[in-house]
Amino acid sequence: MRTVDVQDLQSLAVGAAILGTGGGGDPYIGRLMAEQAIRENGPVTLLDPEALDDEALVLPTAMMGAPTVMIEKIPEGLEAVRALRAAEQRLGRRADATSPIECGGLNSMIPFIVAARTGLPVVDGDGMGRAFPELQMETFHVYGLSGTPAALADEHGSTVLLETPDNVRLEWLARGLTIRMGGHAHLVDYPMRGADFKRTAVWRTISMAIAIGEAVLQAPHRGQDPVEAIAEATQGTLYGRAVPLFEGKVVDVERRTEGGFAVGQATIAGLGPDAGATLVIRFQNENLAAVREGEVLAIVPDLIAVLDAETGMAVTTERLRYGQRVRVIGIPTPEIMRSDAALAVWGPQAFGLPWPFVPLERRFPDYYRRYGVPKGKEKYLEV
Amino acid sequence: MRTVDVQDLQSLAVGAAILGTGGGGDPYIGRLMAEQAIRENGPVTLLDPEALDDEALVLPTAMMGAPTVMIEKIPEGLEAVRALRAAEQRLGRRADATSPIECGGLNSMIPFIVAARTGLPVVDGDGMGRAFPELQMETFHVYGLSGTPAALADEHGSTVLLETPDNVRLEWLARGLTIRMGGHAHLVDYPMRGADFKRTAVWRTISMAIAIGEAVLQAPHRGQDPVEAIAEATQGTLYGRAVPLFEGKVVDVERRTEGGFAVGQATIAGLGPDAGATLVIRFQNENLAAVREGEVLAIVPDLIAVLDAETGMAVTTERLRYGQRVRVIGIPTPEIMRSDAALAVWGPQAFGLPWPFVPLERRFPDYYRRYGVPKGKEKYLEV
């Protein structure tokens, strides 16, 4: 049985920031909270979905909104445990496991706080396979699960239990509550049976995030290029090998707030092999499309990560700055994220983009013929 | 055991509008809902607080926000029942009774919908003894009860259970939810034991509202002045006899929206015995102060009602119009509403008024020496 210790959290933070695709919230404060919880209570069991009992009760845990970073005092994260207990009370049953709803960014960490403080295992999988901004943007929703009973808890001791037949309404009500709770809240949503988790989740995303983070952190010690290290770490996963898209220097960032989202684009002037070309990255919290000279290289829900050129660490959209040297990579998303039902929720059109979804494997067939694709993705390599 | 039937609801609507002191929402749509529920299920038992078991579970029911009046279709009011069931589930116990949290306006009706549809009795008392705009403006809050677990339900099938150690925060969170639920929601709050209801509620306000309504509706048949009828109906209650304050014609209404409240003042030019004088009524949803030529005649939490001069029916602040012939009355509030703790929540200062609270009995000692005051209010008549 695999466990996650304090060192794994360090890797997870690095990997989850890359899977955050520019958004998802900085894992830093969540990592401090999870570290403290694991230091006090010992390592957390990371449960492979295969080992999850069909009848187990899984209560996914997460944070909504923007956390207030308190530099003097690391929050204990007991709000998420309180949300869990409220959901258990409603369901009349104790949880057998928790899981992330979102493996990218901050929400990779929250389940480890809950797990360390309650003794529950964390199931190795999530409902986004990356980061997305809203609660209905979940494979759990796409494949028919109810988001409720959901429970929210804030740092003022308030707990709210939500039940609604409509997952979009869950997002609407929970978002309103989060604002009134002071801008952020911990939550449990999509309570489900083990069998439903196995059927609807994106599998093994936490172990993949840890592996990606380890690869990035180890690369300098091995004299390895960090992008090459990420490519190797993703090879053999459900996703498939990360592909280098571009390298260059940030020359322009436009950013505005629309409906609570950070919307805009970054322009990167090519260097090295990309000298003379320009890449534009469109984002709405998360990176949505990478467009080179008018040609779409990668598009949501495939993952687009902007990395520091030297270290390979993720640069979030909010930290994009003029003059940064960056490398941009794409990671193909798993097939469960690409069904018609899934694309209706988070495909390019759902974000108002004018381009259709074209999988990275189809866009870069030579690359993927060379390195291979996971089972189920061979169709993209047919001529 | 007293019961409330469809005819009683008609009287209750008239009386509750007067106790609404200009606000509290028009009881009309609530009355239609309660009538339908009673027609389908039979009369509701109105339980005197004295007859309430100390260990009984009382779940007060109400509506928050502004109801959308659907003229073709009377809502069944099952939202409030759903809120009740959610609270019961949380408490692990079935309710023994419901009650109003607010006897003035629309919220006088909601418990009768719930009671008719569930078979529960309505306890004859409430937490405001009139109408107020916020959930912490309750004797239940003033005298130490928790407003939660509270449950909200909307007409889209969503149910929310709120728990917070702070009743002001309950108001804040519930108000935010109500807005996102479409502008109104049904709720249960201040779940309590019978003994707590007896200790903290304003007693027998529903039977008093029915008596006031009956008096107003019967007055023309008896050739009685409606203000005289109201005075007689209030005499002998915990409140004490209503006192005529002014009569005249509305000559100006200033109204603006501030923080979700209808704030403003109406100016009434005197007629008959008041000819030549002017009365200004300051309001914030409810009438807060009646000021004659700079002299305060009545002030919150004492009740100030503006009545149609002919019929004695209440005129809400939103229906105040230039040219209306009106009569203004004051009703002294019960002592439980006048403690220092109570005045801190709903005294003149809580509404930003520059005047201290002066009880009607002290302002009109001759009137009350003539008609007498309820037990506990004799002190106001001392020189």
Are A257 and A192 in a shared domain? Answer: no
Q: How far apart are CA A98 and CA A126, in angstroms?
A: 10
Query: Are residues B24 and B157 located together in one domain of the fold?
Result: yes
User: How far apart are the CA of B143 and the nearest CA of chain A, in angstroms?
Assistant: 21
Specify if B213 maps to a domain: no
B311: left (phi over 0), alpha (psi -120 to 50) or beta: alpha
Q: Where among B188, B203, B218 does a domain terminate?
A: B203
Helices and strands, number each (H, E), in chain B:
12, 18
Verify whether the Cβ–Cβ distance B164 to A158 is below 8 Å: yes
Is residue A70 predicted with pLDDT exceeding 60? no
Cα distance between residue B192 and residue B60, in whole Å: 8
Are A12 and A210 in contact, with CB atoms under 8 Å apart?
yes
Task: Count the domains in chain B.
Answer: 2
Residue A18 pLDDT greater than 90, yes or no = yes
The answer to whether residues A155 and A257 belong to one domain is no
Q: Is residue B223 part of a domain?
A: no
Whether the pLDDT of residue A72 is over 80: the answer is no
In a domain, B214, yes or no: no
Q: Which residues of B touch A157 (CB under 8 A)?
A: 164-166
Nearest to B176 among A90, A157, A180 (CB): A180
Q: Is residue B236 part of a domain?
A: yes
Least CB–CB distance from B160: residue in A162, A166, A181:
A162
Closest residue in A to B168 (Cα) is A158
Query: Which of B89, B171, B173, B178 should be substituted to probe chain A, the one whose Cβ sees the most A Cβ atoms within 10 Å?
Result: B173
**For A75-130, what is each residue's pLDDT tens digit?**
778 899 999 999 999 999 999 999 999 999 999 999 999 999 999 999 999 999 99
The continuous run of DSSP H or E covering B360 comes out as: helix B360-363
Cβ atoms within 10 Å of A184's Cβ, excluding its own: 19
Q: Which of A158, A172, A179 sits opposite B163 (nearest CB)?
A: A158
CB atoms within 10 A of CB B100: 28
pLDDT 10s digits, A186-226: 999 999 999 999 999 999 999 999 999 999 999 999 999 99
Q: How many CB atoms sit inside 10 A of residue B132's CB? A: 26
Residues B192, B249 within the same domain: no
List the single best residue of B177, B179, B187, B189 to mutate versus A (max A Cβ within 10 A): B177
Q: What is the DSSP letter of B20?
A: T
Cβ within 8 Å, pair A158-B161: no
User: What are the backbone angles phi and psi of residue B77, rounded to the nearest 5°?
Assistant: 80, 20
Residue A346 sits in which domain range? Answer: 240-381
What distance in Å separates the CA atoms of residue A53 and residue B14, rounded to the nearest whole number?
61
Q: Which of B154, B163, B166, B170 to mutate to test the interface with A (most CBs of A within 10 A)?
A: B163
CA distance B210 to chain A (A): 37
Question: How close B321 gets to chain A, by Cα (Å)?
Answer: 36
One domain, residues A246 and A346: yes
Q: Are residues A127 and A260 in the same domain?
A: no
Q: Are A307 and A18 in contact (CB under 8 A)?
A: yes
Alpha-carbon gap: B196 to the closest alpha carbon of chain A (Å): 23
Distances (CA, A) of B295 to B280, B332, B383: 10, 18, 20
Residue linked to tokens 């004492």: B302
Give the A-side interface with B, CB within 8 Å: 86, 89-90, 156-166, 169, 172-173, 176-177, 179-181
Contact B177, B164 (CB under 8 A): no
Same-domain status, A112 and A36:
yes
Q: Residue A336: what pLDDT?
A: 98
Domain with A30 in it: what CATH number?
A: 3.40.1610.10
pLDDT tens digits, residue range A271-324? Answer: 999 999 999 999 999 999 999 999 999 999 999 999 999 999 999 998 999 999
Enter the tokens of residue B140.
Answer: 């239940």
Q: Distance, in angstroms, between B93 CA and closest chain A CA?
A: 13
Residue in chain A lying closest to B88 (CA): A90
Contacts 24+ apart (CB under 8 A), B278-283: B278/B248, B279/B245, B279/B246, B279/B248, B279/B328, B281/B22, B281/B306, B281/B328, B282/B353, B283/B22, B283/B23, B283/B317
Residues of B in contact with A162 (CB under 8 A): 158-161
pLDDT tens per residue, chain B (383 residues)? 799 999 999 999 999 999 999 999 888 888 999 999 999 999 999 999 999 999 999 999 999 987 655 555 667 788 999 999 999 999 999 999 999 999 999 999 999 999 999 999 999 999 999 999 999 999 999 999 999 999 999 999 999 999 999 999 999 999 999 999 988 899 999 999 999 999 999 999 999 999 999 999 999 999 999 999 999 999 999 999 999 999 999 999 999 988 778 899 999 999 999 999 999 999 999 999 999 999 999 999 999 999 999 999 999 998 999 999 999 999 999 999 999 999 999 999 999 999 999 999 999 999 999 999 999 999 999 87
Same domain, B151 and B279: no
Residue A162 lies in a domain: yes
B42 and B130 share a domain? yes
Give the residue among B123, B135, B125 at the shortest CA–CA distance from B173.
B135
Q: How far is A341 from chain B (nearest CA, A)?
A: 24
Residue B226 Rama label (left phi>0; alpha psi -120 to 50; beta): alpha
Of the two residues B73 and A369, the one the predictor is more confident about is A369
> CB distance A173–B180 less than 8 Å?
yes
Paired tokens of B360: 């009607």
Cβ-defined contact of A180 to B166 (cutoff 8 Å) = no
CB B274, CB B297: distance < 8 Å: no
In a domain, A109, yes or no: yes
CB contact under 8 A, B90 and A172: no
Set of chain A residues whose Cβ sits within 8 Å of the Cβ of B169? 156, 158
Beta carbons within 8 Å of A148's beta carbon, 6+ residues apart: A162, A163, A164, A167, A170, A189, A191
Q: What is the DSSP letter of B376?
A: T
**Domain annotation covers residue A211:** no
- Residue-wise pLDDT for B128-183, tens only, equals 999 999 999 999 999 999 999 999 999 999 999 999 999 999 999 999 999 999 88
Say whether both B50 and B148 belong to one domain. yes
Instruction: Name which of B265, B268, B269, B252 is nearest B351 in CA terms.
Output: B265
Choose the closest CB to A177 out of B156, B157, B176: B176
Query: B200 vs chain A: nearest CA distance in angstroms?
Result: 24
| B143 and B255 assigned to the same domain | no
Distance to chain B for A171, nearest Cα, Å:
11
Residue-level pLDDT at A66: 73
Question: Would you state the pLDDT for residue B230?
Answer: 98
Chain B: residue whose CA lies nearest to A167: B158
CA nearest neighbour of B282 among B363, B216, B351: B351
Q: Which of B160, B161, B163 sits opposite A173 (nearest CB)?
A: B160
Q: What's the complex ipTM?
A: 0.86
User: Which of B203, B223, B253 is the last residue before a domain boundary?
Assistant: B203
Asked, for residue B215, whether it belongs to a domain, the answer is: no
The last residue of a domain, from among A145, A178, A203:
A203
Strand partners, B125: B203
Buried b (16+ CB within 10 A) or exposed e, A14-37: bbbbbbbbbbbbbbebbbbbbbbb
User: Which residues of B are less than 8 Å from A183 in CB distance?
Assistant: none
* CATH label of the domain that carries residue B319: 2.40.390
| B95 DSSP 8-state letter | -
Q: Same structural domain for residues A196 and A263?
A: no
Asked if A164 contacts A175 with a C-beta cutoff of 8 angstroms, the reply is no
- A187 CB neighbours in chain B (<8 A) are none
